[in-house]
Structure 1
Amino acid sequence: MSERMQLAGLASGFDWKSVVDQLINLERAPQRRMRTQQATHTAQIDALGKISGNLESLRTASTALLNNSLFNARKVGFSQSGLGWSATAGADSLPGSLTLNVTQLATASSRTSQSSVSGTAGTAATLIADLRLAQPISDGSFTVNGQAIEVDGSQTLGEVLDAISTATGGVVTGSYDPVADRVTLASSNGQLELGQAGDTTNFLSALRLQQSAVQPDGGGGLTVTSGNTLGRIDLSAPIESSGLAGGLSGAGHFLVNGVRIDFDASTDSLRAVMDRVNASNAGARLSYDSAGDRFILSNTQTGEFALPVSDGEGTFIAALGLGGGAALTSGQNARLSVNGGIEQEHSSNTFDASLLGAPGLSVTATSVGQQEISVSNDTAGLKKAVENFVEKYNAAQSHIESQIRIDISNSDNVTSGTLARNGEITSLNRNLRAAVFQAVPDADEAFRRLESLGIDFVSGSSRLEIKDPARLDQALAENPESVRQLFQAPQTGLLARITSLVNNSVGPGKSLNAQQDRLNARNREIDQQIDNMERRLTRQRQAMEAAFIQMEIAQSNIQRQLQALQSNLQMPTT
């Protein structure tokens, strides 16, 4: 019966369900006020969190200005940029200038093979793929006198040269001289055109055959010969099979600048031994010039230093052509003079303070010449740090001002910021302003306020502005130490004040965090109160619904009794 009576007013015609909803909704009015209070708390927590973040950024910007290298940075200028010199100036460098004249650059001693060190590229019977060349020949086609010739690695060199003759009807013939290690093409009719844009193989360039080298043969024909010997060593193959003209086998060692270098021709490649020399303590570098087919050994240190080499066991040095027959270039010292003084010599092209007479200055010359070198304060990094400090300070103050503002319109409407009645935040705003406004007694008299740097407050606000950029640039360039004292003076400097304020406001247990903790705790309490109230309202709804259901049941019973009585009264008599 009770389930049927859940349809409000079924018996009574009275919509008691909506009455219960309205009564419960009225009872929830305190909950809505609590939710509004929670929303206010949450907005305050968010505002406090953003203030904390802005203060953290301000502290980071302040910390950056504690870096003394910003105030001691130096830059070097040259009167002639075209000479390609470079220089560095340390913190101990003093602003000023000097004239440096370099009349000779320092060079390193070197040994160079005087003749080709490679054997021949092969023979006419050698497969194209097996020719030992500076660049491998790719498969494809090339043209001679407009006629295409196909080439692939499975052909021999002689076969390809014969194919040239066939393609040109015997007009152009080719030959390979294994002694001279060169290829020659000869034309009998005065026409010898090598290659065209559509060629797909590097056959002609790999054999060093160039159109510009075509010459008359004196008999009405034309001829062209490889511009250099063709054979090149294989740096990656074992030494004994690398193609060295003199050949080399077995294990042994050699000396460079008195340092022993071991090798094994059966397992080591030339590249591996070159790397071993270059990584050793010999102070030398070994390289291979594939264009000239020669090895070059040079000291890594410039100056008048000898470069002694010798074979110990084996003939490695001789095989590379770096022994007695090598071309020896003796290293030389650099020659320089400062401010027209006496000429000095130095083994390096980098000149330090001992030569220049300028503490902290180092100059590297890459060419001879004379120019004026100036050292000045490098303010770029410092200016950026000051601008960043102003930016972060303004970000913090702008947000604080927006949160504590109280605006009254002409119609007397009051608009308040989220933290308008927060005395701690209002005090923080005043204290931050005072921190950058008050004079620094421990700084130089002329630089005790930010105003001396061309920085002042925006009218009607707590935000800073660089009002005179030229004054800031001048202060940073001419008085970096005074600027440093303004910011860094212990206890009284701008950074000490700002850092103290931030440290007292941000962090576990500090004022802003404590306020957020209290607001979060209050919101949790409100959640608990709302939950308790909701449970009470649930019970109240159930009681009200039960009472109305009983009313419906009683009303239904009365209606049935009334209907029965009326029915009996209307029955006819017998």
Structure 2
Amino acid sequence: MDLNVSGLASGFDWKSMVDQLTNVERAPQRRMRTEQAGVRAKNAAFTRLKTELTSLKTVSEQLKDTAFFDTRKVTSSETHATATADSGTSSGEYNFEIFQLATSAKQLGASDVGAAVNTSSAMSSGGFSIAVTGGTVTVQGKQVTVSTDDSLTTTLAAIKTAVGGSFDYSVSGDKVTLTDSSEIVLGSATDTSNFLQALRLNANGTTSISSSGKLGGIDISVTPANANFTDGAGAASGSFKINGTTISWDSSATITDILDKINSSEASVYANYDPVNDRFLLTNKTTGDVGITLEDVTGDFLAKTQLLNANSGALSRGKNLLYKVNDAGPLESKSNTIDSNSSGIQGLAVTATKGNGASKISSVDTSGETVTTESSHGYSTGEAVTVYSPGTIPGGLSSNTTYYVRVLSSSSYSLHTTKANAESGTNAVDLTSAQTGDVYMMSSSPKIATVSVQSDTETIKNKIAGFISQINKVQSLIKTQTASSTDADGKVTLGVLAGESLVSMTISGDIRTKAIESVDGLSGTITRLESIGYTSSGYSNELSLSDSSTLETALSENLGQVKSLFTTTTDGLANSMYTYLDTLLDDDGSLETTQNNLTNQISSIDQQIADHERRVQMNRDTLIRSFVNMEQAQSKINNDMSFLMSRFK
């Protein structure tokens, strides 16, 4: 018989009584949990207050930084010129005239670096600059199968046979020529081989078509030792230097691998192979008229690719940006971003994307009074120009004189002292000698942009507003958490932080004082927040902007005083507030100490509840054992009574 079952022998539901007694005994725990809930709520309220105070500390830190008040707002009148300005950049308008954009220098390898194709070997290894793919190709309406295992001669012969008639071909000078008595039609929509593209053949509406370029070239997917260089196979391994950076390759490296190594190195150049012109080239990753240094250390990669000047390579010079600022110049910048290194304007950076009007002179004809430019000049007859040169200008010209152009061709013109003479073609300037070094003619129609640099008062105003808003947020939170309310029945409800003098008196009062007090040591008219339009009603600790015009005037006319109001060492509003909050929120500060005490109190209550519950369980177990003993005794009595009753029957 399970005597732990309540009342099994006695008929008395003692288990319910034990549960009720246990519940009564737990009454102190319920009081402790209620107390603990209040402590938790208070701790959570302190955490929220701490978060808002931290936000106020952050905005105070930003406002106490003197550089913040030197923030600049930059605008450009044109989209082709964008600008940025560091804090403290001189305010004002800067008029930029952009005559020429900067470009990158290039080292051009010699053309035809690849040997001519081998017309009798398999096309897969014949040295085509454009690798031939197998498939079908159509000529004069006849489709022919192309196999890369066949030679060029075999494939052309197969096409001739398929077309028949007067169709013929010839191979000379690494080019193919096709002829027929009728117009030659090449290809069809169903062709699957690039044979015609590899031969650089394009229909021209005539009876004779020749390759537009040489067929031979470099297969960059093979190693230099297996490449079809004009000067023979390259070295299996070696190293070279570009701009002082060493690039090495081994016997397994393909030409593509080597180009990739160059591109990912610190040589600061892009390397690639141009299959159309059959040449290698290097391009500086930076703009400007700067060179590219090359050296074969071991092996002969730069020599075989004919990038070295000694192997017919040549530097195509980059261009510097040519510009004027506020009529000063022309000035030069290696980058399309103009900074103080060229303009002398500290903190201002202007990036140009368009330029117009500069033409570099390549030669002067002193007998014909003609100027020839390196590229198309873009001028029109009658356009005004001036001469600029870091070298020596042609004889007969003056750097301080305006000349007028008479266009002779897209790359040549004569110069005249009047627009009328230029338009009539009379009285050209007598050019007595050629130039030395770089000489540019600068037109009167450059790309113009006006960059305005001003104090960023809008950002400053918004930051001050954020500072005030955060003060109000803190004060509002403190008011809500410490206030008491009375309902219709007269019941008073206290705020969760009511009675916490640290909050209601110390913190709230300190923040108010630091926000509205005058800053010692200021000699101007702006010495407190009220001086810039912010006031307190006197009925709350919150602040408001009562006079926005006062703030606007202060920022536009007395920004230096506003800066001092917030940033003055020790007593500046932002400095003082930051220092106070930094101490208050420190790990050893009063807020942290208060929260640690609350956390410890919560833990202590947890421990008290646990200790009390152990006593409750001990008492419960004692009661249960007593009632089980009772059940056992009652069971024995019941058994004895049953036995006696059976004997007296």
Answer whether TM exceeds 0.5 for this pair: yes
Matched, 1:436 2:515: yes
Q: Is the 8 A contact 1:171 1:189 kept in 2?
A: no
For residues 213-244 of structure 1, give each alpha carbon's deviation from its aligned partner in whole angstroms, at most 9, with x where no partner exists. Answer: x2312xxxxx4333222222245655454333
AA matched with 1:130: S
How far off its partner does 1:125 sit? 3.2
Aligned counterpart for 1:181 among listed residues 146, 154, 174: 174
1:305-384 superposed matches below 5 A: 316=303, 319-320=306-307, 322-323=309-310, 336-341=323-328, 343-344=329-330, 346=332, 348=334, 353=340, 356=343, 358-363=345-350, 365=352, 367-368=355-356, 369=446, 370-378=448-456
For residues 480-537 of structure 1, give each alpha carbon's deviation from its aligned partner in whole angstroms, at most 9, with x where no partner exists. Answer: 5444333322222233333234334324332222222222333333334334433443
AA matched with 1:208: R
2:201 corresponds to: 209
Q: Is the 8 A contact 1:456 1:465 kept in 2?
A: yes
1:247-326 superposed matches below 5 A: 247=232, 272=258, 288-296=273-281, 302-303=288-289, 316=303, 319-320=306-307, 322-323=309-310
Change (3 A) 1:477 1:297: farther
AA matched with 2:90: L
CA distance in 1, matches of 2:259, 2:635: 113
How far off its partner does 1:119 sit? 1.7
Change (3 A) 1:227 1:461: farther
1:348-427 superposed matches below 5 A: 348=334, 353=340, 356=343, 358-363=345-350, 365=352, 367-368=355-356, 369=446, 370-378=448-456, 389=467, 396-397=474-475, 399-427=477-505
How far off its partner does 1:327 sit? 6.7
1:244 corresponds to: 229
1:40 corresponds to: 38
Q: Is the 8 A contact 2:131 2:219 kept in 1?
A: no
User: Which of structures 1 and 2 has the larger relative contact order (alpha carbons within 8 angstroms, sep 6+)?
Assistant: 1
Q: Is the 8 A contact 1:309 1:317 kept in 2?
A: no
CA distance in 2, matches of 1:551, 1:18: 16
CA distance in 2, matches of 1:157, 1:110: 35
1:149-228 superposed matches below 5 A: 149-162=144-157, 164-165=159-160, 169-170=163-164, 175=169, 177=171, 179-186=172-179, 188-190=181-183, 192-196=185-189, 199-211=191-203, 214-217=204-207, 223-228=208-213
What SS class does the counterpart of residue 216 from structure 1 fall into? coil
Change (3 A) 1:440 1:317: farther
Q: Is the 8 A contact 1:254 1:312 kept in 2?
A: yes
The structure that is helix-richer by fraction is: 1
1:220 corresponds to: none
How far off its partner does 1:94 sit? 0.7
How far off its partner does 1:24 sit? 3.0
Change (3 A) 1:143 1:276: closer
How far off its partner does 1:438 sit? 3.6
Change (3 A) 1:453 1:182: farther
CA distance in 2, matches of 1:310, 1:567: 126
2:218 corresponds to: 233
What SS class does the counterpart of residue 215 from structure 2 fall into? coil
1:68-217 superposed matches below 5 A: 68-82=66-80, 85-103=81-99, 112=108, 115-120=111-116, 122-144=117-139, 149-162=144-157, 164-165=159-160, 169-170=163-164, 175=169, 177=171, 179-186=172-179, 188-190=181-183, 192-196=185-189, 199-211=191-203, 214-217=204-207
How far off its partner does 1:138 sit? 4.0
CA distance in 2, matches of 1:148, 1:321: 45
Aligned residues: percent identity?
30
Q: Is the 8 A contact 2:3 2:631 kept in 1?
A: no
Matched, 1:8 2:7: yes
What SS class does the counterpart of residue 51 from structure 2 fall into? helix
Q: Is the 8 A contact 2:72 2:89 kept in 1?
A: yes
How far off its partner does 1:33 sit? 0.7
What SS class does the counterpart of residue 497 from structure 1 fall into? helix
Change (3 A) 1:24 1:476: same
Q: Is the 8 A contact 1:175 1:184 kept in 2?
A: yes
How far off its partner does 1:32 sit? 1.1
Change (3 A) 1:472 1:205: farther
Change (3 A) 1:262 1:39: closer
AA matched with 1:232: G
2:597 corresponds to: 518
How far off its partner does 1:45 sit? 2.0
1:442-457 superposed matches below 5 A: 442=521, 445=524, 447-450=526-529
2:17 corresponds to: 19
CA distance in 1, matches of 2:217, 2:551: 65
How far off its partner does 1:27 sit? 2.5
CA distance in 1, matches of 2:633, 2:250: 117
CA distance in 1, matches of 2:460, 2:140: 70
Change (3 A) 1:79 1:554: closer
Change (3 A) 1:421 1:553: same
Q: Is the 8 A contact 2:331 2:342 kept in 1?
A: no
For residues 106-136 of structure 1, give each alpha carbon's deviation from its aligned partner in whole angstroms, at most 9, with x where no partner exists. Answer: 677766456433222x233343432434443
For residues 309-358 of structure 1, give each alpha carbon's deviation from its aligned partner in whole angstroms, at most 9, with x where no partner exists. Answer: 999998939945844966776677765544345x5454746655576464
Q: Which runs of 5+ in 1 are unaligned?
A: 218-222
CA distance in 1, matches of 2:3, 2:291: 116
Q: Is the 8 A contact 1:295 1:322 kept in 2?
A: no
Q: Is the 8 A contact 1:263 1:273 kept in 2?
A: no
What SS class does the counterpart of residue 498 from structure 1 fall into? helix
CA distance in 2, matches of 1:548, 1:336: 106
Q: Is the 8 A contact 1:172 1:185 kept in 2?
A: no
How far off its partner does 1:30 sit? 1.7
Greater mean deviation of Cα atoms: 23-32 or 138-147: 138-147
What SS class does the counterpart of residue 229 from structure 1 fall into? coil
Q: Is the 8 A contact 2:307 2:313 kept in 1?
A: no
Greater mean deviation of Cα atoms: 66-75 or 31-40: 66-75
